[in-house]
């Protein structure tokens, strides 16, 4: 018999109390085993959302989630490891060029990624648009690939922080996703259990991000940096702007194509800037700060690492990417300068075209998405293509167009546009 029961834990937090280490360990373990019911964990999650947690509680909660499953160990590898986690954005294809770029610099990248839900795209969905590529690898396959290729992007196995998997789906349907202690412990329990030596967090801020507000984003970032550092992982966070979508594409195959452009030494300036900035942080964290990642984009070695990584997971990096059956062009209503492109509007349009999913079990379309032909600050001419929408089902165009309505501004010719910085702050 345990000294604890679910109601006692719930009422402690309901009444603004601090949960003890043993209460936290008990409730996470009992919930993972099915002894604490979903409705009880829902009540506790809501109490945490409303009343918060101390840093000590969050650290213990995270440790209990890690203890619910296995821990991976990369100490047998011949090179140091570094990983990156993004809190999710629109057009955020950064993981795709980043993992092979860092691998080309001599640091192994064990990138456990997820699928998209709602308006933010999922890295695995993007890569699955490459013919033959597979997301599911065993731990042994992952280790082999990290040694031979230096980079792997794959789905997290069921063994890592199973408590998180269970709690994550519960938060989704109970209105408790926004709780900073629960977001921080969810992300960090998986990343610490994954066993990476250093970690860079890309915490997005702005209309298209989960965190709209800079202060809340900073609180989340510093909580996660503290959790990582406390667990012995070299952890740094960059707060980056997500008011404007990244690059010129949002979707699946269209984002893969853009990532390949970056690896070929081209691609949109903002995608290159953020990829290189995150690569520098990952290399510094792994003790390889003297290597300049920009050189590896220029000399083709990052592209070689990309092709090797895709081939190792059954994909054909030379194969033509899937395209959607239907497309629709939106033209510029006036001549002038594009002064605003709203990330949320673009993300919703891409989702409604079929690039994302409303429920975890929904399929996604490989070819669906949005391409924009101008970025803020660039001139546009009335009648020129502003967006191209892609989908297999033309019935989807109407709702996607409704998402874009009001999602951009065109100022008069000669309008001055000063873009804000992409990296807003660094914590750690």
Which residue, 338, 330, 366, 355, is CA-closest to 127?
366
Partners of 234 in the β-ladder: 198
Q: How many CB atoms lie within 10 A of CB 365?
A: 23
The continuous run of DSSP H or E covering 23 comes out as helix 21-33
Catalytic residue among 85, 126, 218, 375: 85
* Token pair of 194 as six digits: 């994954």
Beta-carbon contacts of 311 under 8 Å, excluding residues fewer than 6 positions away, are 317
Catalytic residue among 68, 185, 186, 189: 186
212 is catalytic: no
Catalytic residue among 83, 125, 164, 241: 164
Q: Are 108 and 293 in contact (CB under 8 A)?
A: no
164 is catalytic: yes
Name the burial class of residue 409, with classes exposed (0-12), middle (13-18) and buried (19+) by CB atoms within 10 angstroms of its CB: middle
Beta-carbon contacts of 420 under 8 Å, excluding residues fewer than 6 positions away, are 241, 243
Residue 128 to residues 91, 303, 336, Cα–Cα distance (Å): 16, 18, 38
Q: Are 31 and 161 in contact (CB under 8 A)?
A: no
Catalytic residue among 190, 248, 296, 396: 190
Which residue, 305, 315, 375, is CA-closest to 98?
305
Detail the DSSP E strand segments found in 227-280.
Answer: 234-241, 249-251
Catalytic residue among 60, 93, 115, 171: 171
Name the burial class of residue 371, with classes exposed (0-12), middle (13-18) and buried (19+) by CB atoms within 10 angstroms of its CB: buried
Active site residues: 85, 164, 171, 186, 190
């Amino acid at each position: 018999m345990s000294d604890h029961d679910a109601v006692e834990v719930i009422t402690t937090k309901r009444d603004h109390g601090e949960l003890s280490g043993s209460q936290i360990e008990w409730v996470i373990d009992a919930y993972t085993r099915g002894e604490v019911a979903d409705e009880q964990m829902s009540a506790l999650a809501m109490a945490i959302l409303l009343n918060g947690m101390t840093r000590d509680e969050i650290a213990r909660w995270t440790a209990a989630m890690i203890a619910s499953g296995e821990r991976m160990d990369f100490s047998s590898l011949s090179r140091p490891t570094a990983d990156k986690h993004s809190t999710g954005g629109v057009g955020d294809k950064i993981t795709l060029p980043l993992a092979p770029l860092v691998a080309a610099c001599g640091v192994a990248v064990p990138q456990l990624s997820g699928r998209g839900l709602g308006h933010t795209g999922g890295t695995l969905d993007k890569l699955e648009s490459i013919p033959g590529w597979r997301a599911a690898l065993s731990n042994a396959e992952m280790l082999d690939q990290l040694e031979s290729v230096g980079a792997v992007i794959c789905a997290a196995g069921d063994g890592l922080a199973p408590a998180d998997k269970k709690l994550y789906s519960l938060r989704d349907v109970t209105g408790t996703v926004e709780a900073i202690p629960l977001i921080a412990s969810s992300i960090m329990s998986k990343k610490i259990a994954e066993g990476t030596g250093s970690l860079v967090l890309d915490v997005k801020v702005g209309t298209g991000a989960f965190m709209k507000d800079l202060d809340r984003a900073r609180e989340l970032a510093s909580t996660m940096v503290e959790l990582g550092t406390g667990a012995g992982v070299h952890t740094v966070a960059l707060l980056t702007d997500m008011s404007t979508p990244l690059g010129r594409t949002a979707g699946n195959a269209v984002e893969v194509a853009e990532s390949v452009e970056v690896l070929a030494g081209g691609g949109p300036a903002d995608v290159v800037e953020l990829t290189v900035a995150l690569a520098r942080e990952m290399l510094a964290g792994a003790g390889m700060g003297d290597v300049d990642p920009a050189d590896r984009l220029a000399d083709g070695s990052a592209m070689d690492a990309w092709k090797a990584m895709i081939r190792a997971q059954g994909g054909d990096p030379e194969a033509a990417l899937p395209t959607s059956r239907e497309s629709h062009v939106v033209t510029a209503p006036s001549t002038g300068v594009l002064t605003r492109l709203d990330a949320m509007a673009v993300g919703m349009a891409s989702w409604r075209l079929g690039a994302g999913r409303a429920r975890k079990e929904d399929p996604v379309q490989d070819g669906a998405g949005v391409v924009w032909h101008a970025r803020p600050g660039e001139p546009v001419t009335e009648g020129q293509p502003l967006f191209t929408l892609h989908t297999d089902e033309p019935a989807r165009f109407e709702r996607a167009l409704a998402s874009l309505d009001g999602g951009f501004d065109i100022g008069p010719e000669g309008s001055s546009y000063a873009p804000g910085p992409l990296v807003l702050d660094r914590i750690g």
